Amino acid sequence: MSIDIAVVGSCNVDLVVNVDSIPTVGQTVLGGDLRRIPGGKGANQAVAASRLGKSVAMIGRIGDDENGKFLQANLEENDVNTEFLFTTPLIPTGVALISVQHDGDNAIVVSPGANSELSPEDVVNVPPIAEAQVLLLQAEIPIETVLAAAQTAEGTVIWNPAPAPNESVPLELLDLVDVLVPNQQELELLIGNGSADNLESIFAMAKTFPCSSTIVTLGAQGAVVVASNEAVHIPAPEISPVDTTAAGDSFCAALAGSLVEGKDLVEATQWAVQVGAATTLIAGAQPSLPTSSEVLQRLEDR
């Protein structure tokens, strides 16, 4: 099949509890019922792109366990190609522990499991990566695998450096990235100093990367597109979020899909901001991911 978007990244089971407020160090709080939800930044972006009408292949690793079977079945139910979703013996499927407080903000701890076993050798000879119009990458897999996938790609490379890597990012990777998509905190961590607390500082920091363009997501404030030595702020709709867990993932998927359609970066970001906002109006990572028709309907109904 022809692939619009190849996603190389993580597959996790999200274990989610709603709480009145996220606990501080040493604090215990009571929460709601535990929910098991398909997740992982890679899988979220793959499902989001598929629901938005694009043909998608997911490249990653799961464990040879019930959680892995659960995630693979969910991807296939969402029309995502899993031919190159590899099973890893003796290593469990990745798990994310997520607390979601009343205003939609969240705290997440990830146990990578099989995601850490996705190697450069797993991605260098994978046809969907070379053939896709857009390659979507994140940072929940080893950085050397991210680099190998970017080297294999023939199409547009989007890297969402989330969570921000603890290790230094190879300049070779940044040279291969066409669109870098950090949030404010990830931008600060990638730079290593400075504060991205206003549009001027965000613009100055984003210009330091060798990438063709950078889009900095700002949550409720929308996003900033930095390209061709110019910065454009795209505001977000005013909403009352329920769960922000998958907002960044749906943003990246919508951005990739718009670039497949030939939209420019500003147009693509405008749509991505709307999709990200609509995602926050429904609880759960993948359950919240909308189809194209649901985006506008959710925003109209908010």
Active site residues: 249
Residue 57's region, left for phi above 0, alpha for psi from -120 to 50, else beta, is beta
H-assigned helices in the chain: 41-51, 66-77, 120-123, 127-131, 143-152, 171-176, 184-191, 199-206, 247-260, 265-279, 292-301
Whole-angstrom Cα distance, residue 6 to residue 155?
10
Dihedral of alpha carbons 274, 276, 281, 282, sign: positive
**How far is CA 145 from each of CA 50, 60, 79, 82, rounded to the nearest angstrom?**
23, 10, 25, 18
What's the distance, CA 23 to chain centroid? 25
Q: How many CB atoms neighbour CB 296 within 10 A? A: 13
For the record, the structure tokens of 198 come out as 């206003």
Give CA–CA dist 293/272, Å, rounded. Answer: 14
Q: Tell me if the bond preceding 163 is cis, omega within 30° of 0.
A: yes
Rounded-to-integer distance, Cα 269 and Cα 222, Å: 9
Cα distance between residue 217 and residue 205, in whole Å? 14
Chain centre distance of CA 53: 17
Characterize the bridge pairing of strands 213-217 and 223-227: antiparallel
